[in-house]
């Protein structure tokens, strides 16, 4: 799916800004009631989650539908153009009404969807746009929410006399099987964009390298048959290659490769023309593959220095905020990092464009988090998620396939792969094949494994890269770093035999900024540094450990719980991006570790 762009052939109307908004009171659900909206509407900003833009508890506790409304006009000079309404993300389930009529429905809160407006609206006439948004999570959504009676992480049955009573008594609310706050709403931008009637639908670019030359195998999908031309420009705006035809191979002599910073993330631009349409697509020439226990970028062994992040900030919630993305990119470089994982959902497209430009490597993750319900329920046989999971992977690859910064797909975070190992292995290995089959660049595929009995887990070892989240010294063997390192090494001995690249995709300690101790104990800044220094020194002894991603880049907002004092505090930075001692520790460590060849 192409990202909207303005050029001499295409126009854009932004619908970001103030919208009318109200929460449902449980009586309208997915139906739009103009009278209900008129009586209850208030101002809300788009893009942003609705939860923290207001100050009453009901905005954070809400369970169900909410309504957005805005009127706009398409200028008459667009009357000859094709008109498309695009939502970059609405979380989690949206039904869009245009002039009172249902026009589209979309499930999945982190990927774009579009509505053909041509024929639905008339240029020069006001358009009433209304969006019903459902924030509920369950055993059939991604991310997963607990349902009545599942006494698992986040369940609310504890304390109520019985599950039956809980079903009767409990006020319906979300029970996320994940700890990040379930922010909801129109979280990313809304635009009307135009194209000529005959237009470029999609562009796919697959780079390769041979000697000093680069090649791109390209294909251009168009709305109807016709001549396609492709002109490739260097970063210095010189023509370096040209081609005719909707698909083909283009050779770029003495190509400049895309490399992670501080090397050069060189980008080319393909200008595609078809009839009266034009689209410019940036791309990078780089290769990615796994070789034994090494992760190779441009045939060089890469070491992942970075983190799991969140799209999370005060007031905006999970809402798109370009200033935060620019700030985070600056901090990633300040820290000496070279990568991050889009935990635990696809991020805004603008962040991938920034990563392409800045030379930051991305592990691109789906919203499949929380797949599990304890040792009594096999989620792979009871959760209704497989077809939606495939839809999400299909849409994720369709959106992000051309980004040179994306080097691996993560199908999920911390699914249960311990309690029903055969069922899990079958689910994940089949979905692994499915994911590989969809990626034109055939990048490595993985999922991120939860702390578990790694000898019972039959799925993680089947992935291209072993990505594990381990909290030895925090959630278990709490505060005892000698025991933690002992247990960690027992596990690393196990993975040594599997001999695949291993990234520690999460490890961390909740840390209160300003809490200092001479004898480092949990929650102090000194403990966080000691925790990482001890564990990193164990990683340094293992050549198959090809990455370290502390959890988390920054503190973030979560569900309420006895383990969450003002959210998750495992950040190297505070939520407003101020460094803890561990940020200075990693800045020193990572600036002494090269991107390539750290482990031979």
Residues lying near ligand E8X in the complex (CB under 6 A) are found at 178-180, 344, 414, 451, 469, 471, 475, 506, 551, 568, 570
For the CB of residue 181, give the shortest distance to ligand E8X in the complex, in Å: 11
Q: Which residues of 326-347 are buried (b: 16+ CB within 10 A; e: fewer)?
A: eebbebbeebbbbbbbbbbbbb
Least gap, CB of 383 to ligand E8X (angstroms): 18
**Torsion angle in degrees (nearest 10) through CA of 26, 32, 38, 42:** 70
Minimum Å distance from CB 583 to ligand E8X? 17
Complex with ligand E8X: residue 91 or 568, whichever CB lies closer = 568
Residue 60 CB neighbour total at 10 angstroms:
19
To the query of whether residue 116 is one of the catalytic residues in this protein, the response is no
Other beta carbons less than 10 A from residue 125's beta carbon: 10
* Element holding 201 (H helix, E strand): strand 200-210
State in angstroms the smallest separation of the CB of 469 from ligand E8X. Answer: 5
Tokens of 514: 């300003």
Contact criterion met (CB below 8 Å) for 94 and 106: yes
Q: Is 414 one of the catalytic residues?
A: yes
Rounded least distance, CB 213 to ligand E8X, Å: 43
| Catalytic-role residue among 311, 349, 365, 506 | 506
- How far lies 113's CA from each of 2, 89, 203, 283, 322, in Å? 11, 7, 17, 23, 20
- Closer Cβ to ligand E8X, 53 or 452, answer by number: 452
CB nearer ligand E8X, residue 344 or residue 500: 344
278 versus 344: smaller Cβ distance to ligand E8X? 344
CB of 582 to ligand E8X, least distance (A): 15
Catalytic residue among 414, 418, 525, 548: 414
d(CA 536, CA 304): 13
Neighbours of 103 (CB within 10 A): 18
Closer Cβ to ligand E8X, 255 or 363, answer by number:
363
528, containing H or E segment = helix 525-539
- Which CB, 85 or 509, lies closer to ligand E8X? 509
Nearest CA among 286, 290, 309 for reference residue 298:
286
Instruction: DSSP for 321-377, please give it.
Output: -HHHHHHHHHHHHHTT--EEE-TTS---HHHHHHHHHHT-EEEEE-S-B---BTBS-
Q: What are phi and psi of 189, to 5 degrees?
A: -65, 155
User: Between residues 495 and 556, which has the closer beta carbon with respect to ligand E8X?
Assistant: 556
For the CB of residue 7, give the shortest distance to ligand E8X in the complex, in Å. Answer: 40
Which structure tokens are listed for 456? 């019972």
Q: Other C-beta atoms within 10 Å of 565: how many?
A: 12
Give the residue numbers marked as catalytic.
414, 506
């Amino acid at each position: 799916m192409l990202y909207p762009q303005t050029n001499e052939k295409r126009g854009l109307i932004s619908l970001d800004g103030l919208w009318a908004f109200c929460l449902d009171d449980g009586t309208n659900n997915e139906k739009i009631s103009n009278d209900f909206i008129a009586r209850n509407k208030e101002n809300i900003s788009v893009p942003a989650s609705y939860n923290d833009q207001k100050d009453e508890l009901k905005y954070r506790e809400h369970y169900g539908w909410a309504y957005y409304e805005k009127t706009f006009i398409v200028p008459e000079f667009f009357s000859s153009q094709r008109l498309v309404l695009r939502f970059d993300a609405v979380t989690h389930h949206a039904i869009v009404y245009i002039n009172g009529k249902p026009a589209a429905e979309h499930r999945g809160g982190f990927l774009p969807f579009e509505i053909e407006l041509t024929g639905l609206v008339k240029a020069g006439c006001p358009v009433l746009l209304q969006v019903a948004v459902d924030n509920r999570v369950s055993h059939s959504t991604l991310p997963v929410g607990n349902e009545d009676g599942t006494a698992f992480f986040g369940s609310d049955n504890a304390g109520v006399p019985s599950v039956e009573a809980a079903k009767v008594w409990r006020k319906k609310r979300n029970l996320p099987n994940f700890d990040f706050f379930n922010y909801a709403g129109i979280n990313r931008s809304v635009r009307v964009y135009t194209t000529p009637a005959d237009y470029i639908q999609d562009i796919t670019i697959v780079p390769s390298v041979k000697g000093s030359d680069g090649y791109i195998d390209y294909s251009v999908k168009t709305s109807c048959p016709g001549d396609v031309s492709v002109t490739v420009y260097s970063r210095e705006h010189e023509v370096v290659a040209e081609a005719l035809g909707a698909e083909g191979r283009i050779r770029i002599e003495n190509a400049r490769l895309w490399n992670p910073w501080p090397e050069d993330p060189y980008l080319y631009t393909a200008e595609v023309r078809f009839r009266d349409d034009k689209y410019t697509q940036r791309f990078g020439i780089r290769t990615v593959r796994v070789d034994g226990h090494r992760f190779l970028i441009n045939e060089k062994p890469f070491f992942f220095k970075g983190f799991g992040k969140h799209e999370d900030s005060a007031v905006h919630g999970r809402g798109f905020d370009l200033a935060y993305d620019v700030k985070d990119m600056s901090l990633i470089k300040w820290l000496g990092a070279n990568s991050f994982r889009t935990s635990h959902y696809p991020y805004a497209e603008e962040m991938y464009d920034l990563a392409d430009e800045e030379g930051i490597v991305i592990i691109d993750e789906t919203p499949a988090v929380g797949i599990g319900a304890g040792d009594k329920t096999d989620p792979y046989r009871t959760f209704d998620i497989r077809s939606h999971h495939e839809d999400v992977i299909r849409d994720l690859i369709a959106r992000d396939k051309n980004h040179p910064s994306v080097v691996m797909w993560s199908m999920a975070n911390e699914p249960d792969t311990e309690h029903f190992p055969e069922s899990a292995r079958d689910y994940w290995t089949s979905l692994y094949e499915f994911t590989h089959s969809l990626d034109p660049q055939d990048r490595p595929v993985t999922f991120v494994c939860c702390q578990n009995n790694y000898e019972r887990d039959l799925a993680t070892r089947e992935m291209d890269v072993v990505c594990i989240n381990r909290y030895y010294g925090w959630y278990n063997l709490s505060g005892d770093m000698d025991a933690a390192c002992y247990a960690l090494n027992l596990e690393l001995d196990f993975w040594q035999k599997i001999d695949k690249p291993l990234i520690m995709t999460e490890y961390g300690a909740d840390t209160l900024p300003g809490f200092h101790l001479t004898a480092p104990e949990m929650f102090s800044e000194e403990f966080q540094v000691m925790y990482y220094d001890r564990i990193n020194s164990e990683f340094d002894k293992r050549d198959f450990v090809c990455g370290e991603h502390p959890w988390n880049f920054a503190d973030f907002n979560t569900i309420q719980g006895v383990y969450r004092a003002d959210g998750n505090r495992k950040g190297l930075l505070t939520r407003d991006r101020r460094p803890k001692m561990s940020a200075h520790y990693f800045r020193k460590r990572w600036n002494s570790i090269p991107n390539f060849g750290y482990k031979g």
